């Protein structure tokens, strides 16, 4: 007999089971499926199919380590679609379900901005969380500003007069932001909000606002604010506004007026900005030198050492030594004393006045032992004293420097600038031990979501690796180079991070053509790295092109001598550029007695100049030759190339 009650119960149980199954599938599904879904969603995102991408990201299971990232990705999809409601909804899911996740802080900040006007109370709570988190300062200072802005708006519309204590409390974040980020993205908005909140600001606060308007090129508001402040306190900002308007007549007149007075109220940064704006009106070094000399003679401002420093930079070669020496002696504790002392030390070496060099070196190393020039100063002390222990200390303390290269060469008694030997090809890989299989970082690596890896990790070497994986070789190398320079102690040469700093990009072509021309492959790799940072389309201000930065006329001459058909556009082709670059370098080397130091100098300064230097300069060894070269650019170029050569050799030598 048909039992309707049993059938109904069965259907009810089936519906419950289906509901549980659907819910369970949302909470849990095999990670392999999550990865597959995420990859397809990411492909759709990259193809700008944001609607389908949004849907697929929602299918990543809740228990997957990818889920919070998928939620953030959904928000990005909604933002690209202009759907603020969905964007906010997904941010709030991320905040509520994964409150401690690394991306939740950014979700709170973005959500706060979305609801700033319609729900300021909730926005305030979001910004408050961000301001008390461990996010970077930019987010925290901006969040404090938004909190103060919400409070200021609430006070303004309450109709009640706030207490002085409350006013001061609200103003603290405004002041803090403009002091920290006077040219920040929000600076003009902060200035506008603050001024609206309290029209009766102190002079120092009005200066902060005037600076924010000036640096954001908001010239009308800048001048309106500047007009309420005594000119002696803001003449630099007023001059900058004139320069921004290209009103050089009034700007220069104002500078001429105030530079002759002992004015201490204008900040060092504003003063320097004005001098830079003044100098930028001239293009020739000789003109810059003349106008700076005139300006320095009339300057009474105690910050005039910046003018002096620039004057030395643009001075004729014969004037540089007395210029820097005078700057150091006049401002021994000033902001530019380190540079002036180092330049004085360098010129005493150039004059082969080693007694004075030794004395200056002692003082320099006492005062500036951690400076970037310290390896060079230490090297010359070691060389003057023939101090083998100091050479070894340089190799240990500064293992990747040009002076470690020279110290090693001297201690080993090597005569030629390079040593024969082939490099072992070692690919760029993830620069650390691989993350755990259950970690978010590992999951992101599985789906190749490099953009989110950069957001998830604060490590610059990981960011460099991401850029490398994306084919952005120039960006990758620069990020890794800068990160390595900040490490207080350099890692062992086998550390995988070195491969990011000195990658073997285009090594197959380098190896092929260096072998054909008998060039040192590590040296050619160094030239590629330093000339173009591996940017195949690099073009200098004078027209040099490609990886090895060949001038089109030079490349044509080399091509013609070697019966190679060449169109200028071919120089952006890595194969052709590296081939011609090797041929050109080989010609330079043969024309200079097979000496790599001379050839590298000629690659930068020209073979005619190098031949002249070798005949005229007073030197007894390679180090004296380099320091005697009259072009600082070529001196620095030799140091860069052979420092890079040294690193390619020590990292990759078989």
Q: How far apart are CA 552 and CA 116, in angstroms?
A: 56
Which has the closest alpha carbon to 609: 581, 586, 637, 630? 630
Q: Are 550 and 581 contacting, i.e. CB atoms less than 8 angstroms apart?
A: yes
Q: How far apart are CA 228 and CA 222, in angstroms?
A: 10
In angstroms, the Cα distances linking 436 to 31, 44, 444, 467, 468 are 15, 28, 12, 22, 22
SS3 readout for 574-611: HHHHHHHHHHHHHHHHHHCCCCHHHHHHHHHHCHHHHH
Reduce the DSSP state of residue 365 to 3 states and report it: helix
Q: How far apart are CA 312 and CA 296, in angstroms?
A: 11
Which has the closest alpha carbon to 227: 246, 214, 245, 243? 214
Q: Are 79 and 87 contacting, i.e. CB atoms less than 8 angstroms apart?
A: yes
Q: Which residues contact 653 (CB under 8 A, 6 or more apart)?
A: 421, 423, 424, 522
Reduce the DSSP state of residue 502 to 3 states and report it: coil
Longest dimension (CA), the chain: 119
Q: Which residues of 24-58 are buried (b: 16+ CB within 10 A; e: fewer)?
A: eeeeebebeebbebbebbbebbeeeebeebbebbb
Which has the closest alpha carbon to 584: 424, 571, 613, 644? 571
Tokens 């030759």 belong to which residue?
Answer: 625
Q: How far apart are CA 645 and CA 522, in angstroms?
A: 5
Which has the closest alpha carbon to 144: 109, 101, 107? 109
Q: Are 615 and 586 contacting, i.e. CB atoms less than 8 angstroms apart?
A: no
Q: Which residues pair with 202 in a beta bridge?
A: none
Residue 531 annotated as catalytic: yes
106, 531, 587, 639: the catalytic one is 531
Angle between helices 374-385 and 337-350 (to 10 degrees): 30
Q: Which residues contact 349 (CB under 8 A, 6 or more apart)?
A: 357, 380, 627
The separation between CA 622 and the C-alpha centre of its own chain, rounded to angstroms, equals: 33
Tokens 């504003």 belong to which residue?
Answer: 270
Which residues carry out catalysis?
Answer: 531
């Amino acid at each position: 007999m048909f039992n309707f009650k049993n059938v109904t119960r069965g259907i009810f149980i089936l519906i419950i089971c289906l509901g549980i199954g659907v819910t369970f599938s949302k909470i849990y599904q095999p990670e392999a499926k999550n990865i597959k879904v995420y990859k397809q969603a990411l492909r759709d995102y990259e193809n700008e199919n944001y609607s389908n991408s949004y849907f697929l990201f929602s299918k990543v299971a809740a228990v997957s380590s990818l889920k919070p990232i998928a939620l953030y990705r959904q928000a990005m999809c909604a933002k690209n679609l202009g759907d603020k409601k969905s964007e906010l909804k997904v941010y709030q899911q991320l905040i509520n379900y994964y409150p401690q996740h690394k991306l939740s802080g950014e979700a709170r900040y973005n959500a706060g901005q979305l609801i700033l006007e319609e729900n300021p109370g909730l926005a305030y709570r979001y910004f408050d969380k961000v301001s008390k988190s461990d996010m970077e300062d930019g987010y925290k200072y901006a969040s404090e500003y938004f909190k103060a802005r919400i409070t200021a708006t609430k006070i303004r519309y309450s109709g009640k007069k706030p207490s002085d204590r409350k006013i001061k409390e609200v103003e603290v974040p405004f002041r803090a932001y403009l002091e920290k980020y006077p040219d920040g993205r929000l600076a003009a908005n902060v200035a506008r909000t603050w001024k609206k909140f309290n029209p009766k600001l102190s002079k120092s606060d009005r200066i902060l606002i005037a600076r924010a308007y000036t640096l954001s090129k908001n010239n009308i508001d800048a001048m309106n604010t500047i007009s309420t402040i005594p000119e002696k306190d803001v003449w630099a900002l007023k001059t900058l506004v004139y320069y921004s308007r290209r009103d050089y007549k009034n700007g220069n007149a104002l500078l001429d007026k105030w530079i002759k007075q002992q004015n201490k109220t204008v900040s060092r940064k504003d003063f320097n900005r004005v001098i830079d704006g003044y100098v930028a009106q001239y293009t020739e070094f000789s003109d810059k030198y003349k106008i700076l000399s005139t300006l320095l003679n009339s300057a009474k401002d105690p910050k005039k050492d910046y003018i002096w420093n620039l004057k030395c930079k643009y001075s004729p070669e014969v004037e540089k030594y007395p210029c820097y020496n005078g700057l150091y002696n006049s401002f021994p504790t000033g902001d530019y004393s380190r540079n002036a002392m180092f330049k004085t030390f360098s010129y005493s070496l150039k004059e082969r006045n080693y007694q004075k060099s030794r004395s200056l070196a002692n003082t320099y190393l006492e005062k500036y032992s951690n400076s970037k020039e310290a390896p060079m100063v230490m090297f010359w002390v070691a060389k003057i004293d023939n101090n083998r222990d100091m050479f070894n200390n340089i190799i240990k303390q500064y293992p990747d420097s040009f002076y470690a290269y020279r110290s090693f060469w001297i201690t080993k008694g090597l005569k030629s600038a390079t040593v024969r030997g082939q490099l072992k090809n070692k690919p760029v890989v993830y620069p650390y031990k691989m993350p755990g299989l259950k970690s978010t970082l590992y999951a992101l690596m599985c789906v190749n979501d490099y953009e989110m890896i950069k957001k998830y990790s604060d490590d610059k070497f990981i960011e460099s690796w991401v850029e490398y994986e994306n084919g952005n070789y120039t960006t990758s190398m620069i990020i890794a180079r800068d990160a390595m320079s900040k490490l207080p102690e350099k890692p062992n040469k086998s550390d995988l991070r070195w491969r990011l700093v000195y990658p073997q990009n285009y090594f197959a072509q380098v190896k092929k053509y260096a072998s054909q021309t008998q060039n040192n492959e590590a040296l050619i790799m160094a030239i590629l790295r330093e000339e173009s940072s591996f940017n195949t389309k690099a073009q200098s201000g004078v027209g040099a092109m490609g990886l090895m930065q060949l001038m089109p006329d030079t490349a044509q001459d080399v091509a013609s001598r070697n019966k190679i058909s060449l169109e200028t556009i071919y120089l952006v082709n890595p194969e052709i550029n590296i081939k011609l670059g090797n041929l050109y370098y080989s010609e330079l080397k043969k024309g200079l007695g097979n000496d790599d130091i001379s050839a590298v100098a000629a690659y930068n300064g020209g073979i005619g100049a190098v031949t002249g230097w070798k005949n005229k300069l007073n030197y007894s060894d390679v180090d004296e030759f380099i320091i005697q070269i009259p072009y600082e650019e070529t001196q620095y170029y030799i140091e860069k190339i052979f420092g890079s050569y040294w690193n390619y050799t020590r990292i990759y030598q078989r």
